[in-house]
Chain A
């Protein structure tokens, strides 16, 4: 294969980094920092200036700040976390500071930050230099707990030799850490203390930490954050992001972690067109699933199974077109989503029925027509899948089966399944079983995604199946309609 390597090397050597690349990059970094500084300075000043109530309400959909008994103290609530802090300090809702293009991963998801100066959050090292007198308390939620954490209340502990900077060239802060669980969620906090911080400010930061309260009943792992890309939801093994795509469409990416024993990033994607809530449910905790999605801005109310869903609006700072909603649903119930406008008119209804654990009959298998050739291929796979068998009824066996089925199909060149039988269809450019989950004792939801190239354009399909494991047999007892979720085919194709 050295010939191929030589060919690639020859092609690669056609371009070289410009001599001024470093300077260009630094100029670009400066421009980005300046743009952020303007926006954040306005944010921080407004928040710090006592008129905080309006400001935080405007900036964070669920943030709530109000004066408490002592006039020099404010209480804020962000994402179910309440904190008391000095009124002349700055509170930042940092939930939007999710890396917009970083690989999905269960790293701490920032919630709030308080500091004794007016300034930028230093969580992403994007801020203006903080003075050496600064004190910063950062609270983040852990989407995946590193082992069993102690229950709240806990104390901030100094870690020997530990310290952190807030951007290159900025003062070094000594820091303290704590991790804990509370109300079914997992958190970590870092307290940074500048080299010249006053004792009073350090004490105030410790007091603020001790004042943290966690709303009972706040939906674990059910958090929205503002920004161009947001963590919509996450669970022990997966995380989803939402972002606005071109042409007003709205994309939700579901990235699985350690699925099939491996790390899979952005394993599945959805594109939701206007007026169509994303009908996707998944298991967020041991005792339920979360239905979540997006509706267009004219929806003022969303219900899931008749109950009000949490609706957050607008979607991020750069879009007023969509609102996100979410609600917990029981493990085996149907999911019926309805959205209503200002006048109470039902503007959209969507839903799907999952089979229960036997108390109700399984839903009929849909037979959508007309089907494209690709969709017929998807259906063929479903049928082949339904006829397959596994050794045992346990979840691992199912997982193994799915994994092996895909690997074998690839290895034997059968990844195409029956799609090649359709003239002009093929080959696959992707085929994934990105997600499986147990939705009752014997039923599993299986997500399938596949991309198919047809006459030079690519369409990506997504389908959800409900698979029942009975003895050594797998049976499809429910299926969503295979839908095109992405395509670069010109309109009207195929």
Chain B
């Protein structure tokens, strides 16, 4: 069970963005420097994106992109009650945005790509393939709650859905994943 880490703001009841409804002002120097934040969260964010997307290169790119943006806005973000939540949400939003573009591209294409026969028989990819059988929303909810250890409420805030939706998604994802992993 991974440690959610400091700065996650477990007990926070407000959205990370709530703090930004105040006039643009930034607290000074009492928060940790960005480099500490980066080292505390980069790998975990990378792994969340990998589990959700199944592509290590895409995960690396998305994690870097999200943290670059966080770096650029660190003066504002560091004062939030939950800066890590903000960054995770930004990264997952970016991933969905890419996913939508890919979906649109697929619509324009003449057919769906054939599965790679080599990777399809590679046992090492079995877990990744099993995860890919889950719908997008279920996969996100499962990774955030089961692996990252967030509560339904926290995952719901991060995904922009209600906690009950998170619960439903997970309850559907679990048996599907277990079935897909039966022979692993």
Determine the residue in chain A with the shortest Cβ distance to B34.
A168
* Residue pair A125, B20 in contact (C-beta under 8 Å): no
* Residue pair A103, B90 in contact (C-beta under 8 Å): yes
Q: Interface size for chain B: under 10, 10 to 19, 20 to 34, or 35 or more residues?
A: 35 or more
Known: A101-B93, A101-B94, A126-B72. A8 touches B143 (CB 8 A): yes
* Residue pair A246, B64 in contact (C-beta under 8 Å): no
Q: Considering residues B2, B15, B107, which has the most beta carbons from chain A within 10 angstroms of its beta carbon?
A: B107
Within 140-174 of B, Cβ neighbours of A (below 8 Å) are at 142-143, 146-147, 156-157, 159-162, 164-165, 168, 174
Determine the residue in chain B with the shortest Cβ distance to A9.
B147
Q: Tally inter-chain residue pairs, CB-CB below 8 A.
A: 216
Is there a chain B Cβ closer than 8 Å to A146's Cβ? yes
* Residue pair B17, A245 in contact (C-beta under 8 Å): no
- Cβ 8 A contact of B51, one of A8, A177, A429: A8
* Residue pair B51, A190 in contact (C-beta under 8 Å): no
Interfacial chain B residues near A144, Cβ < 8 Å: 21
Interfacial chain B residues near A453, Cβ < 8 Å: 135
* Residue pair B28, A163 in contact (C-beta under 8 Å): yes
* Residue pair B24, A10 in contact (C-beta under 8 Å): no
Interfacial chain A residues near B15, Cβ < 8 Å: 103, 105, 263
* Residue pair B21, A142 in contact (C-beta under 8 Å): yes
Determine the residue in chain B with the shortest Cβ distance to A28.
B68
Is there a chain A Cβ closer than 8 Å to B120's Cβ? no
How many residues does chain A have at the interface if contact means C-beta atoms less than 8 Å apart?
86
* Cβ of B149 to closest chain A Cβ, rounded Å: 9
Within 59-117 of A, Cβ neighbours of B (below 8 Å) are at 99, 101-103, 105-108
* Residue pair B74, A266 in contact (C-beta under 8 Å): no
Summarize A's interface: helix, strand, loop or mixed: mixed
Is there a chain A Cβ closer than 8 Å to B1's Cβ? yes
* Residue pair B104, A490 in contact (C-beta under 8 Å): no
Give the docked Cα–Cα distance between A411 and B168 (Å): 7
Residues of chain B at the chain A interface (Cβ within 8 Å): 1-2, 15-18, 20-26, 28, 34-35, 38-39, 42-43, 46-47, 50-51, 56, 59-60, 64-65, 67-69, 71-76, 86, 89-90, 93-94, 96-97, 100-112, 127-128, 131, 135-138, 142-143, 146-147, 156-157, 159-162, 164-165, 168, 174, 177-178, 181, 184
Question: What are 21 residue pairs bridging A and B, where the CB atoms are less than 8 Å apart in the complex?
Answer: A7-B127, A8-B143, A21-B64, A25-B42, A99-B69, A101-B90, A102-B90, A105-B15, A107-B17, A125-B75, A140-B24, A142-B21, A164-B28, A190-B23, A245-B100, A247-B104, A255-B160, A262-B162, A263-B157, A271-B104, A430-B137
